[in-house]
Structure 1
Amino acid sequence: MSVDGWNTVLVLGGIRSGKSEFAESLVADAPAVRYVATAADADPEDQEWAARLAAHRDRRPGSWTTEETAGDPRRLADVIASAEPNETLLVDDLGGWVTVLLDPAHQPADDVATIAELSTALRETPARVVLVSPEVGLSLVPTTPLGRAFTDALGAANRAVADACDAVVLVVAGQACWLKPAATAPTTAAPHPASGAALPTSAVPAPAAAAPTSAVPAPAAAPVPNGTVAPQPAPPAQEHPVAWAAPTMTLPMVATGLVIQPGMDLPMPDEYAGPQAVDRLATLDVPGAGLGALDRLVGFAAATQGTPTPTAWDRVRVVLLHGDHAGGAAAGTVPGESDRRADQARAGRGALARLATESRADVQVVRTPDAAPVEDGPALRPDEVDAALRQGWQLAEEAADAGVRLLVLGSCGAGTEAAAAAVLAATAGAEPPTVLGRVVTESGEYDDAAWMRRCAAVRDALQRTRRSPRGAKDVLAELGGGDIAVATGVLLGAAARRVPVMLDGPVGVAAGIVSRDLAGQARHWCLLADHGGHPAVRLAADVLGLEPLLDLRLDLGEGANALAALPLLRSVLALAAALPVHPSLGGGEESVAPTWGDLTAPVPVPDDDEFTEPEPAGPGPATTAPEPERTEPEPDFTEPEPVGPGPTSTRATDTGSTDADDPDRAAVPAGQEPDPSGRRAG
């Protein structure tokens, strides 16, 4: 493999997709190219096919040389294997090669072995090789045996060659989608170490780039135990590839990294595990009616974990977004208050950090771009929106890689409620006064003047953008701001990695509204513990189809409300996973060994045949004085002979009780001993 990351590329594409032109552009700057033609000569009567071949020849520069392998398909592997390190080969195409391979003139032949030889040659060649092949896997199954044989053989060849090549690209309508990016592909034209051939920048599969420095949180200290501030991602010194996990699926990539755009195809939760988990709850051995409304929590956890018996979330991370909004949106806030809250969380102080300690959760404080006054102009530039979305996606990727099983979204910026109200008004048709909560001062009083200034700022922003597009990125740029954009990226990235997200406050639900227009699957990974009595959260939850699990009306700050409810949610999941099925439905009893101090543990009752009367702790009923203390070991217990009248006597004993006082004693006939087990004789 060459030092710049790859030297073999497979270019796939349909008919007239532009795959050949794209492959030729990959080697256009090479000083010399050996063009390997695999197709057989055209039928003299087929003028259209001859014209196609002529067009291919006309596109080739005069410095290229042509070599044909149609006479012997096995020669293709020999040509590639014998190529020198300073050579560049363009093979066009594998479809013609398979056609010749299946020609009766070359049969009998071991097609599988020939394809294996080709893939081995590609792995071992020191030259740079670009292969072109038609993608027939997306078409209908041919109706003829010969057609099926061709598609089967070409599909096997494409798979073997794709596995052997360093990079694979699919060309659709002239647009290149890299399916297998190289490990260290360059982002600029890089010459081959021997040939000097350079790859065009637009044709190289680029790694995901980090967000600009202004949109990336500052580096933090080394990791610390759970419950304190988690380390924040530091901006990379240079571009480096990000290994997107398999659940992310195939996402578009450009030179700047991941492209987040409408119509993204992200995973969905398991549609069967959730209902199965809820149905299982009805069979559990519980003394009451069950979990009530919290059965929806079990169904959500089961769907997102992909199992009917979900477990409690053991790794939880709070992503606290810190970004301010300027202008009227921040009316009534104390200057510097958001910075103080963020510093508190970083230092492990304040309500959020204390609740995180109790809940064994990490807190990650992320600085997001500040938003400009929305009443005067856009909150962010378009490039800042893209960077913020990628930053949020990367935060979700890092959490998933660290083993986090639940993300909690929170915010502590100034003016976030007004920004969320503006987003809801633009996307859900809400009136700003109906989704803007009252402004409360530090002394606990309502500041109606500040509330009216916030309403005016949102109203002016909506008036300014009344003719603007209402796309997801347009709304984030015009009204949303950096914190909502980063939160949107977190939701999308978490859905791609199958990590559920608990929303808490206006910023999270506003991000949920925006993410719905980028990938409709994202909202199905969101959970809302409590609406907190906030009007914006109520409306957004209704639009997203999220029903709050609780109605506690907590107002401890975004993120802290969710952490306060988290122990209850964990307990419900743990209980649902641990309880057995009711015995009447075929379940077995739990066998729990009693421990010291377990006063509620059942005491085993011996069988009737093995019963022995326990030794009395004090003086027996037949004696009036305690026995003298013994120094030698006591013999085995024997029943003492009664002294005085037996239990069948009608006279009172020296304890003062009578037969009438004990129904069991009175029921024993005279001259018969009572049953030592205490049961009546039948």
Structure 2
Amino acid sequence: MSTAAPIHVPLPDATAEHQARRRLDELVKPVGSLGRLEELAAWLCGAHGTVPPRPLDDVRVVVFAGDHGVSRTAPGSPGVSAYPREITAAMVRVFCAGTSGVTVLAREVGARVRVLDVAVDAELDDVPREVVARKVRRGSGSVDVEDALAPGEAERAFSVGRAVADEEIDAGACVLVPGDMGIGNSTVAAALTGASLGLPAREVVGTGTGVDEPGRAHKVAVVDRALRRAGDRVGDPFDRLTALGSACAAATAGFLVQAAVRSTPVVLDGVFSVAAALVARDIAPGAARWWLAGHASTEPAQRLGLASLGLEPILDLRLRLGEGSGAVQAVPVLRAARAVLAGMSTLAEAT
């Protein structure tokens, strides 16, 4: 069990949010007629402490990559993913080449993408040194039969995530997006979500990369074994990460917590980032005030996690790619929400 000191998370500026809501009601439009855009505009004012909010011109995605023991499959046996585990390392190279889904989509909105090998089960000698500089371990344990991490590794990976958030914010980031890459990610996310919310495997397991119904049944069995094996150890968030998570899940949790500590808005992505957010909330109560839900994934664990966090997705595009690809699509909506306050006249000014 972790004995780390409590982490202080500041509150958003309630006065700025109240002022924003009052001005929104005074704009040249029917009260409330811009719906969710008005809610997001007021939220941004609270986060920035000013009306209108500052421009959202430096959005940064950090993809935490790692492999999971549950993705190891014997020949002829069912797997938890429609793809082999070797894809994780291959995708890190694709990120570096700038041709992955999130890098292409991020360019469309002017966002930057950084990938980090936190626990890829391969030696990536052909990628830039900075990609592998934060590696915690090679792969994680198969959570249905063993702990994902050794003692102390969850805390170490969490610290990596905090340091990376600091680096991005110090370099000018005004919005952070947690991305993920790892074959088996949705299985680990389901286990973390089930443990965090006290839900059985059958309620949190989805189809992930697109497994068929027998494949989903196999995933349910894997997550069920994992939850039963972990037992009551899941009450402490670092024990939960050790037993059921991964180094990249712990790093993502640290990234989310430090963004909140630094009063920096986060747009959550799919099921993996939301599972990490549930753990992050337990580590740093109040951190969720600094997070938005970028989109609705097709995974049930993401929907259940967002409901627990009290977050409503900005978009629903039926995406299940991960990588931060859904979250970056919400950036233009946030910019539009800011523009409402920055550019519209009040009724008094127009008459």
User: Any idea what SS the aligned residue of 1:266 has?
Assistant: coil
For CA contacts below 8 A with separation 6 or more, give which structure has more relative contact order.
2
- Structure 1, unpaired ranges of 5+: 1-258, 590-682
The one-letter code sitting in structure 2 at the alignment partner of 1:449 is: P
| Comparing 504-513 and 268-277, the one that deviates more | 268-277
Identity of aligned residues (%): 35
Are the aligned partners of 2:81 and 2:184 in contact in 1 as well (CA < 8 Å)? no
- Equivalent residue, structure 2, for 1:528: 293
Q: Give yes or no for contact 1:440–1:447 (8 Å, CA) kept in 2.
A: no
Answer yes or no: is 1:308 the counterpart of 2:51: yes
Deviates more, 1:305-314 or 1:317-326: 305-314
The letter for the 1-side match of 2:217 is: M
From 116, 127, 152, the equivalent of 1:383 is 152
Match of 1:587 in 2: 349
What is the CA distance between 1:439 and its match in structure 2?
Answer: 4.4
Match of 1:413 in 2: 182
**Structure 2 residue identity aligned to 1:411:** D
In 1, are the aligned partners of 2:51 and 2:341 still within 8 Å (CA)?
no
Secondary structure of residue in 2 paired with 1:552: strand
| Residues 466 and 403 of structure 1, relative CA distance in 2, 3 Å threshold | same
Q: Distance in 2 between matches of 1:424 and 1:415?
A: 14
Q: In the alignment, what sits opposite 1:401?
A: 170
**1:409 Cα offset (Å):** 1.0
Q: TM-score, normalised by structure 2?
A: 0.86
Match of 2:333 in 1: 568
Aligned to 2:104: 354
Give deviations 1:466-513, integer Å, cap 9, x for gaps.
142520100000001111100110011111111111100112111111
TM-score, reference length from structure 1 = 0.46
Preserved contact between residue 178 and residue 273 of structure 2 (Cα < 8 Å): yes
Counterpart of 2:238 in structure 1 is: 473
1:392 positional shift: 0.2
Pair 1:299–1:389, CA change in 2 (3 A): same
State the match for 1:422 in structure 2: 191
In structure 2, C-alpha distance between the alignment counterparts of 1:419 and 1:526, rounded to whole Å: 22
Q: Does 2:204 align with 1:455? A: no
Aligned CA distance change for structure 1 residues 262 and 513 (closer, same or farther; 3 Å): farther
- Cα distance change of structure 1 residues 262 and 545 upon mapping to structure 2, 3 Å threshold: farther
What's the CA shift for 1:260? Answer: 8.2
Quote the offset at 1:397 in angstroms: 0.5
- Counterparts of 1:59-458 in structure 2, within 5 Å, are 261=4, 263-286=6-29, 290-327=33-70, 331-335=80-84, 336-369=86-119, 370-441=139-210, 446-458=211-223
Shift of 1:535: 1.0
Root-mean-square deviation (Å): 2.1
> Gapped runs of 5+ residues in structure 2?
73-78, 120-138
CA positional deviation for 1:384: 1.1
The SS at the match of 2:177 is strand
- Describe the shift of the 1:279–1:533 C-alpha distance in structure 2 as closer, same or farther (beyond 3 A): farther
Question: In 1, Cα distance between the equivalents of 2:309 and 2:343?
Answer: 32
* Amino acid aligned to 2:111: A
Distance 1:470 1:288, change over 3 A: closer
Cα-to-partner distance string for 1:127-176 (whole Å, 9 max, x where unaligned) = xxxxxxxxxxxxxxxxxxxxxxxxxxxxxxxxxxxxxxxxxxxxxxxxxx
- Tell me the CA shift for residue 437 of structure 1: 1.4
User: Quick one: which amino acid aligns to residue 113 of structure 2?
Assistant: V
Q: Matched residue of 2:316: which SS?
A: coil
Offset, 1:564: 2.0
* Residue 63 of structure 1: aligned partner: none
Letter paired with 1:495: A
Larger % of helix: which?
A: 2
Cα distance in 2 between the residues matched to 1:467 and 1:573: 45
Residue of 272, 275, 278 corresponding to 1:510 = 275
1:325 alignment partner AA: H
Report the CA distance shift for 1:559/1:516 in structure 2 as closer, same or farther (over 3 A). Answer: same
User: Counterpart of 1:332 in 2: which secondary structure?
Assistant: coil
Q: Give 1:575 shift.
A: 2.7
Deviation, structure 1 residue 283: 1.1
Question: How many Å separate the matches in 1 of 2:283 and 2:81?
Answer: 33
Q: Structure 2 vs 1, CA of residues 517 and 265 (structure 1 numbering), >3 Å: closer, same or farther?
A: same
In 1, the alpha carbon distance for the partners of 2:157 and 2:42 equals: 32
AA aligned to 1:275 is H
CA distance in 2, matches of 1:496, 1:486: 15
Equivalent of residue 545 in structure 1, options 310, 326, 345 = 310
Bigger CA radius of gyration: 1
Q: CA offsets, 1:295-349, max 9 Å, x none?
A: 2211221111011311331100001111111125862342222223222221111
